[in-house]
Homo-oligomer: A and B are copies of this chain.
Amino acid sequence: MGEIRNAERTRKRILEAARKEFFEKGYTGARIEAIAVNADVKKQLIYHYFKGKEELLVAVLDQMTVELPEWTTQFPSDPVHTAEHRFQVNCQTRMDFLKFTVWEALEEQPQQNSRKKRRTEALQSYVDDMKSKQEAGLVPEDLDPELLTLAISALTTYPLIFGDVTKMVTGSEPTDPQFQEKWSKFLTKISARIFGKDDFMNE
């Protein structure tokens, strides 16, 4: 009505609304109608820009991976700080995306092969990093690098994903910066113990 036509802007608005909807409700739970309303667009217009629900999701995911900053793919030199670092990354780079990951694990989705490959590569790079640090003598010999990586994944995502558990156990919301700091320090502390740096246990 009062707005001038603008294809690019409309497309972006749809994409943004779709991101929110998909990340909050998962694929099957997401409603095209809801996306349309949120983007202030007739829902049929979405089919003018995207072939369908699935392609829309793919578009959202593609844009996601383009946008993430470089520092997120770096590793700290000391394995003691690996967990803390990965936790910070998870906190910063859109927690809602993490939530979507969970749905991906549960729903039987249009398993994007390219997407699965990317995830595998990312995880494998964590394992490789851990292995190299073990060879450098920074990680105890008797701890399996793969299992360590899995453990770190667990510790750096679980409290954020299962906000209700975090709330029930600690009383804080996982979005609370105070909790995030406490958890960061905690991760460093137990990392120090696990990796055998007993001299790190100050503060």
Contacts and interface: CB of A to CB of B under 8 A. Distances in A.
B186 A147 contact: yes
Interface string A155-175: 101110111111011110000
A127 interface: yes
B144 A182 contact: yes
A162 B120 CA distance: 13
Chain A, interface size category, equals: 35 or more
A45 interface: no
A96 to B, nearest CB: 12
A143 B106 contact: no
Nearest to A101: B162
Given A120-B168, A189-B142, A147 B183 contact: yes
Given A151-B186, A169-B146, A186-B143, A163 B120 contact: no
A190 to B, nearest CB: 5
A73 interface: no
Contact of A143 (B26, B105, B190, B194): B190
A194 B186 contact: no
A181 B182 CA distance: 31
A155 B153 contact: no
A165 B105 contact: yes
Contacts of A161: 105
Contacts of A165: 105, 123, 150, 153
Nearest to A120: B168
Q: Give the interface centre of A105, A155, A165, A189 by most chain B CB atoms within 10 Å.
A: A165
Contact of A106 (B99, B120, B149, B159): B99
A196 B143 CA distance: 16
A193 interface: yes
